Amino acid sequence: CFRWEEEKKEDGVKWMQLEHRGPYFVPLYEPLPEDVQFYYDGKPMKLSLATEEIATFYAKMLDHEYTTKEIFQNNFFHDWRKEMTSEEQEIIQDLDKCDFREIHKYFVDKNEARKALSKEEKQKLKEEADKIQEEYGYCVLDGHREKIGNFKTEPPGLFRGRGEHPKMGMLKKRIMPEDVIINCSRDSKIPEPPEGHKWKEVRFDNTVTWLASWTENIQNTLKYIMLNPSSKLKGEKDWEKYEVARRLKDVVHTIRAQYRKDWESKEIKKRQRAVALYFIDKLALRAGNEKEEGETADTVGCCSLRVEHIQLHPRLDGQEHVVEFDFLGKDSIRYYNRVSVEKPVFKNLKLFMKNKDPTDDLFDQLTTTFLNKHLQHLMDGLTAKVFRTYNASITLQEQLKALTNPEDNVAGKLLSYNRANRAVAILCNHQRSIPKTFARSMQVLQEKIDAKKKQVEEAQEEVKKAEDEFNETKDAKAEANVEKKKKLLKRLEEQLAKLNVQATDKEENKQIALGTSKLNYLDPRISVAWCKKFGIPIERIYNKTQREKFAWAIDMAGEDFEF
């Protein structure tokens, strides 16, 4: 029977029974050996335990770009000094006089030693980790043993943040049991806190799906321990997400007609909403929430765009009404795009920018809340995010139809799949920096290709020789030899073609991150149906973790599934 379709609970109730062991706390700090020293102004200095621990956080990051950034250095030094003893504060007044190199080397060596362990020793470490996973990594939810996603608390360290985050370098404090709220069912065996400690609170709230939560000290946000993506609860949620996006397919034409009409509205507020919605729909932009200034990196989404983020070109590169976007989106990823838009959109943007400073909001009368309220009114469960899911999934489906050639071999079909996935990643602006190892691995691949080309040329010579021999002798043995040599040539040519496909794929993919859309925006049933239709093993598309997460789709989708 389908795990996904068990008895429905009353609204808002997520479970009847929940039992778990609570979070696993990362081990306490181990002091440095006596011979590994911190130096201040050239002299060795023994640090108190708390101060030393924080020093190791910085030391470990010495070879990282972060520690060269002034804002990181200042935040770190400020937070570090707060934790020092008054004697240490007297002495340590200048980060430039601090020498962490010996500590850094100690951790580098320790890392190398761990890599160099024998197979048996590594196996022993793995068994210890597995034991912890067995004990803390599962819970019982309504009679099912379910895997927990992140059962360990985050270790203390220095906050990194993405992009130019104003809080980078601040001290991320150790999470103690006293910080943690436990959530479980009343009748379950309530988890025991570590010895000598107590929980902040124990709750029995079955309208939420988290097992434990605490507030982290840097952004004051809540962190949760949740179930693993492969669990029934998460599977259902994922399925619902794509079902909402599929419902959008039936009304999207009406919605598009509506926002086109609103471009001419008498109310400027409605016009702004209609243009923003056009961008969200056409360009799959994120909605962009209001944010506290100075708390986070300066990133924006559609509703929070400023005048400085766009430029209008009546004509550009042979196209009319071009909008040039340039801004930092989520996680400080740059969004740069030039798009030819419809004339009324262009005229409206001109109007929205009139008499404004570069730092003024483009959509000054629009909030995400106002936009989403309107969307909810158009379709139950509709938010700006649903457009991203819908447009990503529909793009994948259309691209797969257009690009897949049923005559291709498996490698050729997989290249088409990756190209379809790339089209989505480009739409969603999922970039990555070129991997450090890219040039080297590309070179290795090119060497393989060159070697294979040589083999193909040699095999061609061999075929020609065999054919000449057969023409002279006309005997059966020589004929068989021709067939044998031709077979070999064909095999080598197929291998060469496969390597060439790999190289194309790698080159096209170097700056694009496919994983984000695959995990979060693409209805997995589209991929499962494609695999079933063309006889491609699912493991060529989804790795083990992804197959667990999408078990519901692998069960449900036949080859005729249409998003």
CA distance 348 to 310: 13
3-state secondary structure 250-302: HHHHHHHHHHHHHCCCCCHHHHHHHHHHHHHHHHCCCCCCCCCCCCCCCCCCC
DSSP letter, residue 512: B
Question: Of the residues 136, 242, 335, 521, which is catalytic?
Answer: 521
CA distance 53 to 156: 9
The token duo for 412 is 């050729």
Closest by CA to 335, choosing from 320, 324, 346, is 324
Helix (H) / strand (E) element for 393: namely helix 384-403
Angle at 405 between CA 401 and CA 410, to 5 degrees: 110
Residue 225 DSSP SS3:
strand
CB 227 within 8 Å of CB 146? yes
Closest by CA to 246, choosing from 343, 128, 112, 391, is 391
DSSP letter, residue 404: -
CB 512 within 8 Å of CB 432? yes
- Residue appearing with tokens 């100690």: 106
Question: How buried is 8 (Cβ within 10 angstroms: 0-12 exposed, 13-18 middle, 19+ buried)?
Answer: exposed
Active site residue 521: yes
Residue 312 DSSP SS3:
strand
CA distances from 187 to 7, 14, 183, 191, 352 (A): 21, 16, 12, 12, 59
Q: Which residues are catalytic?
A: 521
